[in-house]
C-alpha cells in the first residue's frame, strides 16, 4: 500500500469519526421540548370485540385532537400510535413491544380485553411504561405493578354485583355457569360463585370453553338438564353469538345474565330475540354531547363500554405529563394522586391502580340493541 493511499484512508476515517461525532452531538442537543409526546393505544381493531375497540379508538383520537387544539401538553403535541391487540394475548404483546421499543411511548392507553392487558402488562412494567386500561376488568390485573392503572372497574366489583342481582332481583337460587376460559371469564365467575354462595345460593354446574370454540352444544345440554333459575354467562361476543344460537336451538328458555362484554353492538344485533338476555355493565354518566361527538365520527348508533374511559385516560395522562414530565416514577405517582371527574364518572385510584368505587347497571338485549333495566 503506497503512502498516498494510506493518507487518503486515514483522512476518510477521520472524516467519518468527526462527522459521526458531530451528528451525535447535534442529535443530543436537539431541543427536546418541542418534539411530540408519544403515547400508544392498544385495543381490538379487528376480530373479536372490534366493534367496541374501533369506537374506543375514535374516543382517543378526539381526546388527543382536543388537547392539541388547546395547545398540547406544555406546548408539545400529543401523538397517539394505534395498534391492534385483537383481544388476543400474542397479538397484544407484539403490539406493545412495538410501542415500547420502536415508538418509545411513555404510556399505553389499553388494552380493552383483559387477555390483552395481562399479556403485555408485565413487559410494560419491566420497561417502566405506564399501562392505563380503559376496559380490562380481570381481578388478577390488580397485581400487575406500580405503573398499571385502569379507569374501568375490576370484576371483583362486577362479579359481586352480578351475584347480588341474580339473587336479589332475579330471585335466582340455583345458577348454572357457562364461561370463557380466559383471564376475564374465569376471574369474573370465581368472584360471582364466591358471592352467590355467601348469599345462600347454589351453583349447579360450571361449564367452561376456550374463547375460540364454536361448539357449546354439550355444555349447554348439561346446563339445560340441571334446570337452573338463571344461567350466568361471562362470554366474549363472538362465542356468545354461537352459544346463544345453540342454546335457542336446544330449547333453553332460562334467563341469561352476561358480563360487560355483551355491550358489543354487533353481538346485540346478532343475538337479539334469542331468549331473555340481561347483562351487567359499568354505569357511565355519558352526556348527550359526548355521545353525539363520538357517534358523528364512529358512524354507529351506540357508545360501547370503554369509550368514555379511553377518552378520560388520554386527558388524565396528558395532565399528569404536564405536571410531572415523562419520568415513569413521577408520572405513576402523579396519576395515582389524580382525582378526576370525567365522562366515565369519578376516577380515584387505590394502591393497585384500581378504581376505588364502581357502580353498575343491568341492561336487556332487545330489538338489536340494549336498554337499561329499571
Partner 1 sequence: MDIIPQLIVNSIIAGAIYTLIALGFNLIYGTVKFFDLGYGALATVGGYSVFLFYKELGFNLYLSVLIALLITGLIGVLLNWCIYEPLRRRKASSMVLLVASLGVLTMLQAIIAILFTSQFQTLTRNSGVQRVFEINGAVITGTQTIILVTGLLIMAGLALLLHYTRFGKEIRAISDDEEVAKIVGINTSYVVSGVFFIGSAIAGFAGALIGFDTGIEPTMGLSLLLKGVIAAIIGGVGNVYGGVLGAFLLGFVENFGIWQISGEWKDAIAFALLLIFLLFRPQGIFKR
The residues that touch partner 1, with contacts defined as CB under 8 A, are 46-48, 50-51, 86, 178, 181, 205-210, 212-219, 221-222, 224-225, 237-238, 241-242, 245, 248-251, 266, 269-270, 272-273
Give whole-number Cα distances, 73 to 78, 90, 310, in Å: 7, 33, 18
The answer to whether 128 touches 328, Cβ cutoff 8 Å, is yes
Alpha-carbon distance of 152 to 347, in angstroms, equals 9
Q: Which is nearer to partner 1, 274 or 293 (CB)?
A: 274
CB of 310 within 8 A of CB of 298?
no
CB of 181 to partner 1, least distance (A): 5
**Nearest distance, CB of residue 231 and partner 1, angstroms:** 13
Closer by beta carbon to partner 1, 121 or else 185: 185
Tell me how far CA of residue 20 lies from CA of 14, 15, 165, 202, 212, in angstroms: 10, 8, 68, 73, 52
Q: How many whole angstroms separate alpha carbon 211 and alpha carbon 71?
A: 44
Asked if residue 105 lies in contact with residue 40, where contact means CB atoms within 8 angstroms, the answer is yes
68 vs 269 by CB, closer to partner 1: 269
| Residue 236 Cβ vs partner 1, minimum distance, rounded to whole Å | 10
Task: Supply the DSSP symbol for 349.
Answer: B
Q: What whole-number distance in Å separates Cα of residue 38 and Cα of residue 337?
A: 22
Nearer to partner 1, 264 or 354 (CB): 264
What letter would DSSP give residue 199? T
Select 146 or 174, whichever has its Cβ closest to partner 1: 174
Q: Which distant-in-sequence residues (6+ apart) come within 8 Å of 365 by Cβ?
A: 262, 268, 271, 272, 277, 278, 279
Q: Least CB distance from residue 218 to partner 1, whole Å?
A: 5
Minimum CB separation of residue 244 from partner 1 in Å reads 11
Taking the least distance from each CB to partner 1, the nearer of 215 and 329 is: 215
Shortest distance (Å) from residue 207 CB to partner 1 = 4
Report DSSP state, residue 143. Answer: G
DSSP state of 358: -
Amino acid at each position: 500500500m503506497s503512502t498516498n493511499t494510506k493518507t487518503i484512508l486515514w483522512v476518510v476515517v477521520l472524516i467519518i469519526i468527526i462527522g459521526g461525532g458531530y451528528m451525535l452531538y447535534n442529535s443530543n442537543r436537539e431541543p427536546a421540548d418541542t418534539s411530540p409526546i408519544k403515547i400508544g393505544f392498544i385495543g381490538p381493531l379487528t376480530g373479536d370485540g372490534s366493534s367496541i375497540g374501533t369506537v374506543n379508538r375514535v374516543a382517543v383520537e378526539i381526546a388527543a385532537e382536543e388537547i392539541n387544539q388547546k395547545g398540547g401538553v406544555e406546548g408539545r403535541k400529543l401523538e397517539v400510535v394505534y395498534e391492534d391487540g385483537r383481544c388476543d394475548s400474542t397479538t397484544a404483546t407484539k403490539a406493545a413491544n412495538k410501542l415500547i421499543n420502536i415508538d418509545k411511548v411513555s404510556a399505553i392507553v389499553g388494552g380493552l380485553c383483559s387477555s390483552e392487558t395481562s399479556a403485555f402488562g408485565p413487559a410494560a412494567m419491566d420497561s417502566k411504561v405506564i399501562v392505563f386500561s380503559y376496559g380490562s376488568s380481570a381481578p388478577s390485573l390488580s397485581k400487575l405493578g406500580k405503573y398499571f392503572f385502569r379507569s374501568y372497574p375490576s370484576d371483583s366489583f362486577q362479579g359481586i354485583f352480578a351475584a347480588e342481582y341474580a339473587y336479589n332481583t332475579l330471585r335466582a337460587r340455583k345458577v348454572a355457569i357457562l364461561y370463557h376460559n380466559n383471564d376475564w371469564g374465569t376471574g369474573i365467575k370465581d368472584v360471582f360463585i364466591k358471592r352467590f354462595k355467601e348469599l345462600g345460593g347454589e351453583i349447579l354446574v360450571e361449564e367452561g370453553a376456550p374463547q375460540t370454540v364454536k361448539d357449546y352444544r354439550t355444555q349447554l345440554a348439561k346446563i339445560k338438564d340441571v334446570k337452573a333459575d338463571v344461567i350466568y354467562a361471562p362470554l366474549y361476543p363472538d362465542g356468545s353469538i354461537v352459544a346463544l344460537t345453540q342454546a335457542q336451538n336446544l330449547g333453553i328458555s332460562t334467563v341469561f345474565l352476561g358480563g360487560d362484554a355483551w355491550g358489543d353492538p354487533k353481538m346485540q344485533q346478532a343475538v337479539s330475540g334469542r331468549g331473555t338476555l340481561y347483562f351487567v355493565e359499568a354505569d357511565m354518566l355519558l352526556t348527550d354531547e359526548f355521545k353525539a361527538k363520538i357517534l358523528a365520527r364512529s358512524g354507529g348508533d351506540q357508545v360501547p363500554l370503554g369509550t368514555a374511559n379511553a377518552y378520560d385516560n388520554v386527558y388524565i395522562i396528558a395532565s399528569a405529563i404536564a405536571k410531572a414530565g415523562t419520568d415513569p416514577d413521577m408520572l405513576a405517582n402523579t396519576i395515582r394522586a389524580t382525582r378526576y371527574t370525567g365522562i366515565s364518572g369519578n376516577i380515584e385510584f387505590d394502591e393497585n391502580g384500581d378504581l376505588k368505587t364502581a357502580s353498575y347497571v343491568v341492561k336487556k338485549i332487545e330489538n338489536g340493541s340494549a336498554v337499561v333495566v329499571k
